[in-house]
Amino acid sequence: MKRFLMAASASAILIASPVAAQTGSPGTGNPAGMTPGTQAAPGVPAPRETNPSDRTFVQQATLGGLAEIELGKLAAQKGHSDQVRQFGQRMVKDHGEANDRLSRLAKEAGIAQPDALDPSHKDMQDRLSKMSGAAFDDAYIRGQVGDHQLTAQLFEYEIASGQDEALKRFATETLPIILEHLQMAKDIQAQIAGQALQASAAPGTAEPRSGTNPR
């Protein structure tokens, strides 16, 4: 399910990365292909200088964090199960703290951040706000699995391709939390699927056993 801008931006970076890697060549003093004017010494980035990967990371990580907070608030209020409500509360807490830290780093690096949901997540917020019960839980958690998979990819790319050491450190320290969220969402999704299966096999819905003649 294509659900937020991160996928497109991350894909664009991955496609462009071979080109970036070729911008440096032996004897140029820029073997890492760094953005011109951002080196303190040949091949060494100046303190707090950013490259395109850093700037894309800040933009997309901010959008993802905003979405997790807003959708988490909905889940905490409207979740049908305790697991979904507790997961929503966890998203608000963890992503709120991560967003605060990222905002400080972005300000120090001079990178502007978005301050509103992207259209895809705004649409999801509107749809979820009109849902309730088990249908809400299923739609919310399915979205969370997809979002956290994309977020993990984005953080991994920043770790590998970013230039700003503070942003790379933030990505490195936050990625385990993202992966924990992903596993939590997968576990809840499996529980929801199991509950639906049990409900479909409840007394009165089972097929007659072979060899019997239902009256």
Res 12: pLDDT: 43
pLDDT in tens, the chain (215 residues): 444 444 444 444 443 443 343 334 333 333 334 444 444 455 555 556 899 999 999 999 999 999 999 999 999 999 999 999 999 999 999 999 999 999 999 999 999 999 999 999 999 999 999 999 999 999 999 999 999 999 999 999 999 999 999 999 999 999 999 999 999 999 999 999 988 777 777 665 544 444 444 44
109 lies in some domain: yes
Q: What is the CATH number of the domain that holds 179?
A: 1.20.1260.10
The conformation of residue 51, written as its DSSP 8-state character, comes to -
192 lies in some domain: yes
Q: C-alpha distances in angstroms, 148 versus 1, 172, 177, 192, 199?
A: 12, 15, 10, 18, 28
| Residue showing tokens 């999801």 | 124
Q: Which residues contact 59 (CB under 8 A, 6 or more apart)?
A: 9, 111, 113, 114
145 lies in some domain: yes
Domain of residue 103: give its range: 48-199
Number of folded domains that form the chain: 1
Question: What pTM, to 2 d.p., does this model score?
Answer: 0.72
29 lies in some domain: no
CA distance 127 to 1: 15
